[in-house]
Chains A and B, each alone.
Chain A
Amino acid sequence: MIFRLLLYIGVLGIGMLIGIYNMAHPKLDQALGKLQILTLIGLLFVMGIRLGADKMVVSSLSTIGFQAFMLAFGSIAFSVLFVFLGRQILKLDRRGRAK
């Protein structure tokens, strides 16, 4: 957990430094958006493979799938609602800027 956290912060930090000091090749800079989409698609595909290949996920889907779906939906719905209420209290607009 700690190693992973440090790795993510490290990689993100290196990227930010490259961005701040314009150290990337201009061509790479231009392609950044496309590269992000391609890596993202690949990542989601492999994540999907892991889910589909996971016997525990697939076999438990039919028995506890409904309960799990309800719990996940409840957590998501109320966390979105609570953040929405917090944003109203702090008077921030949809994009998170002060009104």
Chain B
Amino acid sequence: MTWIIMLSVIIGTLTGYLFFPSHWYDFTGLVIDIGLCLLLLFVGMDIGKQKNTLLEIKKIGLGILAVPLMIGLGSIFGALVFGHFVGLNYNESGAIGAGFGWYTLSAIMLVDYSSEISALAFLTNVIREVMAILMLPLIAKYIGHYEAVAPCGATAMDTTLPIIARYTTPKVAIVGFVSGVVLSSLVPLLVPIIINL
């Protein structure tokens, strides 16, 4: 299954690069929206069938916020450390890390600061999403289920949620969704704050 995921992304990327007519680009956005809604519906049905899940989530309560908190801190800290090695200022690498995988928004918010940093934020967060998709099954298997949510960051509420649901339990999928929502709402707050430090 991990191979199928990798191949889908790789073959898709090659198709897009080599053959895809550029005027179809906008159309792919619509296809993704529809596909995503379908998948979320299926994931919801799966979660709903496991009646204990919702009770378990209730039991966790506000502790559920510990997951996005650790993911957020880790993302920013990791970007600071690795950004230092590739010669970036702390405010720049921190702000890019605070994009949490949401490439469009983090790039847009950094355009005024510098177009180079904006492009870097875009590419970093694109790579983060692709790496998350590829690494998630392995992390879920060998490290842990909550850890598998970590690479996804903000995307855990949409694009990577189906993969979380596939490789972990319905409970972790809900925690992942909540974590994605929390991190997504933090992106527009944290990126401008950190870049101005």
The DSSP consensus for interface residues of chain B is helix
Within 8 A of B (CB), among A1-42: 1, 4-5, 7-9, 11-22, 24, 29, 32, 35-37, 39-42
Chain B residues proximal to chain A, CB less than 8 Å? 1, 4-5, 8-18, 20, 22, 25, 28-29, 31-32, 35-51, 54, 63, 66-67, 69-83, 85-86, 88, 93, 96-97, 100, 105, 116, 119-120, 122-128, 130-133, 135, 139, 143-147, 149-151, 153, 157-159, 162-163, 165-166, 168-169, 171-172, 175, 177, 181, 184, 188
Closest B residue to A2 by beta carbon equals B185
| From A37, A65, A66, A82, contact of B74 by CB (8 A) | A82
Contact B126 A76 (CB under 8 A): no
Instruction: Evaluate contact between A16 and B123: CB separation under 8 angstroms.
Output: no
User: A residues touching B (Cβ–Cβ < 8 Å)?
Assistant: 1, 4-5, 7-9, 11-22, 24, 29, 32, 35-37, 39-54, 56-58, 60-61, 64-87, 90, 92, 94-96
Given A51-B130, A69-B127; A45-B143 close (CB under 8 Å)? no
| Smallest CB gap from A21: residue in B | B48
Q: Is the interface of A mostly helix, strand, loop or mixed?
A: helix
Could you tell me if A79 and B150 are in contact, using CB atoms closer than 8 angstroms? yes
B46 touches which one: A36, A56, A85 (CB < 8 A)? A36
The chain A residue with its CB closest to the CB of B107 is A56
Residues of B within 8 A of A65 (CB): 123
In the bound assembly, the distance between CA atoms of A20 and B75 in angstroms comes to: 35
Among candidates A42, A57, A64, A76, residue contacting B132 with C-beta atoms closer than 8 Å: A76
**Contacting pair A92 B146 (CB below 8 A):** yes
Residue pair B46, A87 in contact (C-beta under 8 Å): no
- Is B131 in contact with A82, judged by CB distance below 8 angstroms? no
Closest to B93 in A: A71
